[in-house]
Amino acid sequence: MKTIKNWQLGQQQNNHIELVCDDKHVMHLFVLEEHIIRVWLAKNNEVRMPSTWSIAPNQDVPFAGRDRFDCAGFSLPDYRCQMQDETLVIETSCLRLSVHQPLYLSWEGQDAHGQWQPILCDRKTSAYQLGVDSHKVAHFVSREKDVRYYGLGEKAGELNRCGRRFEMRNLDAMGYSARSTDPLYKHIPFYLTRTPAGQSFGLFYDNLASCWFDLGNEKDNYHAQFSGYRAEDGELDYYFIYGPSIAEVTEQYTHITGGTAFGPKWSLGYSGSTMRYTDAENAQEQLEGFIDHCHDYQIPCDSFQLSSGYTSIGDKRYVFHWNHDKVPDPEGMSAHFHQAHMQLAANIKPCLLHDHPLYQQVKEQGLFIRDSESDEPEQSVFWDASGSHLDFTNPATIRWWQQQVTQQLLAKGIDSTWNDNNEFEIWDSGARCHGFGKPLPIGLIRPLQPLLMMRASYEAQQQFHSDLRPYLISRSGCPGMNRYVQTWSGDNLTNWESLRYNIKMGLGMSLSGLYNIGHDVGGFAGDKPDPELFARWVQNGVMHPRFTIHSWNDDGTVNEPWMYPEVTPIIRRAIELRYWLAPYFYNLLWRAHRFDEPMIRPTFYNYESDEHTFAENDDFMLGRELLVASVVEPNQRQRRVYLPAEAHGWYNFYTGQWYSGGQSICLDAPLETLPLLVRGGSIIAQSPHCQRFASVLDRRRVLAIFAHQGCGYSECELFDDDGQSFAYQDGDFLQLQLKMQSSLDKIELTIKARGQFKPAYQSIELMLPQSEHRPIYVNQSLYHADDAIALSAIPQELS
């Protein structure tokens, strides 16, 4: 590696500035937004990877990628650029970049008083390094004392990443430790920093090669304290995103990587799954029996995920092959689930074993990734056998895959694809990919393969059901996967530690643009959960966007809601709570899609001025209104929780008791109860006794009013539509705009409706805590708790 030292100003065209470094390399600076400047150092002025698949600020990228020089979708604001002695200064309305000699960059942000404050400075010694005989790259920045780092996706351990080193190299890490295992499944080279001065920024490295982040673990006597990024290959191309709040950084990053897919409403319901059913000799009988059990035990359920056992020949898996001994009638099975109002997602894998019935055909068509030293398909260990990975940078592979998805799954009644085991764990790093006509080594683009795999599946589903919003699942991926799929934290180990640290992993994903996430509830690998652990895991799981009970227990048992009769009523109550909150969850998904807001978030996300919220804890926010205090320790029957300094305090969700913010309280937490609090001034949409996340069955709507104590004002919007189509884009939606003004003697609620959608419910009921005695006026008319307001009485504002 060699340090890049000197530079001189080169060309400047619009929002693109070039610096010539050491007479041969070029640093490209792009002023993209008031808060975003991009830095790209091209070795020898050559482009190692000419395309990006992660950047998609307004629309999706072509399958072959987006040109790295393309700035479409960014506002490209006015800026000032001038030389001050030997320093180049680039300045927007809120962000200032200074390029110093010898080469290092420093950043300043404008505070609320209009003053420039330091945010970040590159390490002044050897900030930028490029490989001499390799394509390795490195970037180092100075590190302040007490700085905090967040993000990097689903990483294990504490939410604050400071003091540790992390690797991005997608692995099938079955049975991982949620506290310490690294690397894991996803490649998310983005982290946020909150400075001791209270300003926040993010760094996103747009590179798909394996890389390392050192966030204060490494020390070197010849450099001041630093943090570093190193990559094995690819471009040194990063986006500096200035907040100044953590929320603004996350939401801007999520926007430029394409936002969040707006899946169907049923995708937020309980989804059953286990490997044991599809591995059984009577798989179809067991799968259909799941429906009967849900009915017998009164467990609401919207979907089921078929594990890969339905494709087996012997003890191995063969994607797109139905084992008709296990599943004699796939179409009949699908119809049986649909009659019970349940959808089906089927597991698919991107590797064909060498004895797969279609292997030779696929090989002859040249659809596999090729060995680095021959024209033969690469060979990898896959599911205890040997196989070859499909190459999704080959348009012919994409077409073949979409045909298989359509013919073998969608045409048989399967509704969704579960894109699994797609880490592309190919040990031959030089194995060659088609690269859309420009061959590329797998080591340069490995996380791109699962991204293109899920997109191919997405478009197959979209083409088959053109009027329905697709729903997909993927375990592996990289920035941009948020545009297509719901994801989860992989094959966790069953223990209390996983329950606790999976929460932090989920929050790390949420801060990194992956909003629609969850975990294998109950634990996937190892011993089965005991009754208490299972109950607590379900209570936690129902508060995450993805709620799936999924398992492969060593003793052959299955994690099911009814697995322990002594806690089945507790499990049922927890799942019913999720369905009661169905409108709230759906509104969160809409806001994630429309406004780039995470569905779950750390308590500091909305309370950054409250320093106590940054202490490591097990709490999280579900949206802005609900504070979830999951119990993550055995035998715990009281839960201590810190209430962020919310001016209007917090309510106990169940009892309506009010607490002032900025204090720690101790809540009763009997095994049957998940501690749950509501921010004062909130309105929570609910659907009592709801049994499906389906608009046609949603016949009752309740607004739970948690008014301000004393005087206060708040407003919110509640979104609804048919829950499955794209008709909302043409105005077929219902959006309630609610404004609440509280005073000492009354509560005033203003409701206006927008959109053309006619919901199944015809009125809206009001519900207030028993301790609330103030009269409530709705659109200036007096109402009482439990009154119903006819939708026809709500003024319409059609647009």
Q: Sorting pLDDT into bands at 50, 70 and 90, what band is 113?
A: confident
Residue 742 has pLDDT above 80, yes or no: yes
Q: In a 3-state reduction of DSSP, which class is residue 593?
A: helix
The reply to whether 278 falls in a domain is yes
Q: Are 648 and 717 within one domain?
A: no
**In a domain? residue 88:** yes
Q: How far is CA 708 from the centre of its chain?
A: 32
- Alpha-carbon gap, residue 454 to 472, rounded angstroms: 8
Please indicate, yes or no, whether residues 285 and 430 belong to a single structural domain of this protein: yes
CA–CA dist 169, 180 (Å, integer): 15
The answer to whether position 711 is within a domain reads: yes
Residue pLDDT, tens place only, 126-178: 999 999 999 999 999 999 999 999 999 999 999 999 999 999 999 999 999 99
Q: What is the 3-state secondary structure (H, E, C) of 254-281?
A: HHHCCCCCCCCHHHHCCEEEEHHHHHCC
Q: Which of 281, 367, 279 lies closest to 316 in space, CA to CA? A: 279
pLDDT score of 331 more than 80: yes
Same domain flag for 218 and 285: no
598-616 mean pLDDT: 97
Pair 654, 761 in one domain: no
Domain assignment of residue 509, yes or no? no
Residue 348: pLDDT band (50, 70, 90) is very high
d(CA 172, CA 184): 7
> Once rounded to an integer, what is the mean pLDDT over residues 707-721?
97
Query: Distance between CA 741 and CA 774 in Å, rounded?
Result: 12
Helix axes 531-541, 496-511, angle to 10 degrees: 10
pLDDT band of residue 641 (cuts 50, 70, 90) is very high
Domain boundary among 614, 644, 677: 677
Q: Express each pLDDT in 16-37 by its tens digit.
A: 999 999 999 999 999 999 999 9
User: Across residues 394-409, what is the average pLDDT?
Assistant: 98
Length of the chain: 799
pLDDT digits (tens, 9 = 90+) for 429-484: 999 999 999 999 999 999 999 999 999 999 999 999 999 999 999 999 999 999 99
Strand bridging mode 763-767 / 701-706: parallel
Q: Flag whether 621 is in a domain.
A: yes
pLDDT at 666 exceeding the cut of 60: yes
In this structure, the number of other CB atoms found within 10 A of the CB of residue 791 comes to 18
Closest CA to 480 of 318, 256, 651: 256
Residue 199: CATH number of its domain: 2.60.40.1760
- Choose one of 256, 275, 300: the last residue of a domain: 256
The residues facing 419 across adjacent strands are 348, 474
Residue 419 has pLDDT above 60, yes or no: yes
Q: Domain end: 485, 514, 545, which one?
A: 485
Two tokens, residue 516: 């629609």
CA 441 to centroid of chain Cα atoms: 28
**Cis bond upstream, residue 264 (ω within 30):** no
Tell me, yes or no, whether 355 lies in a domain. Answer: yes
235 and 350 share one domain: no
Residue type at 308 in one-letter notation: S
Same domain, 283 and 206: no
Query: How much is the pLDDT for 626?
Result: 98
In sequence order, which ranges of 152-213 are alpha helices (DSSP H)?
none
Same domain, 401 and 453: yes
- Secondary structure, 3-state, 508-544: HHHHCCCCCEEEEECCCEECCCCHHHHHHHHHHHCCC
Of 246, 129, 258, nearest to 199 by C-alpha is: 246
pLDDT at 799 over 50: no
296 and 414 co-located in one domain: yes
Residue 570: Cβ-neighbour burial (10 angstroms; 0-12, 13-18, 19+): buried
Q: Assess whether 756 and 665 both reside in one domain.
A: no
Rounded-to-integer distance, Cα 399 and Cα 412, Å = 19
In the predicted structure, residue 798 carries a pLDDT above the cut 60: no
Q: Does residue 704 fall inside a structural domain?
A: yes
Q: How many domains does the chain have?
A: 4
Closest CA to 210 of 282, 158, 135, 276: 135
Q: Where are the alpha helices (DSSP H) in 224-321?
A: 246-256, 275-279, 283-296
Query: Based on the domain organization, do 715 and 651 belong to the same domain?
Result: no
Averaged over 489-493, what is the pLDDT?
A: 97
Beta-strand pair 36-42/236-242: antiparallel
Q: How is 704-739 classified by DSSP, letter by letter?
A: EEEPPSSSEEEEEEEEE--SSBSGGGGT--EEEEEE
Asked if residue 645 is part of any domain, the answer here is: yes
* pLDDT for the residue 128: 98
Domain harbouring 613, CATH code: 2.60.40.1180
What mean pLDDT do residues 316-336 have? 98
What confidence tens digit (pLDDT) does each residue in 612-628 have? 999 999 999 999 999 99
Q: Who's near 609: CB < 8 A, 6+ residues apart?
A: 198, 645
The pLDDT confidence band at residue 796, using thresholds 50, 70 and 90, is confident
Q: What residue numbers bound the domain in which 610 lies?
A: 600-677
Q: Quick one: pLDDT at residue 137?
A: 98
Percent of the chain with pLDDT over 70: 100
Edge-first strand listing for the sheet containing 80-84: 80-84, 87-91, 95-100, 104-110, 116-121
Mean of the per-residue pLDDT values of the chain = 96
- Tens digit of each residue's pLDDT (9 = 90 or more) over 193-245: 999 999 999 999 999 999 999 999 999 999 999 999 999 999 999 999 999 99
Quickly state the pLDDT bin for 797 (edges 50, 70, 90): low
Q: What mean pLDDT do residues 355-359 have?
A: 97
For residue 747, give both structure tokens.
Answer: 């509560």
**Per-residue model confidence (pLDDT) at position 117:** 95
CA triplet 521, 523, 524: central angle to 5 degrees? 110
Q: Are 561 and 539 in contact (CB under 8 A)?
A: no
How far apart CA 149 and CA 229 sit, in angstroms, is 13
pLDDT (average), residues 645-658? 97
- Cβ atoms 596, 588 nearer than 8 A: no
10 Å CB burial of residue 565 (0-12, 13-18, 19+) is exposed
**In this structure, what token pair is assigned to residue 26?**
């070029």
Helix H or strand E encompassing 595: helix 582-595
Question: Do 318 and 435 lie in a common domain?
Answer: yes
Query: For residue 792, what pLDDT is reported?
Result: 87
- Between the CA of residue 69 and those of 66, 77, 130, 451, what are the distances in Å? 8, 17, 21, 21
Shared-domain flag, residues 280 and 243: no
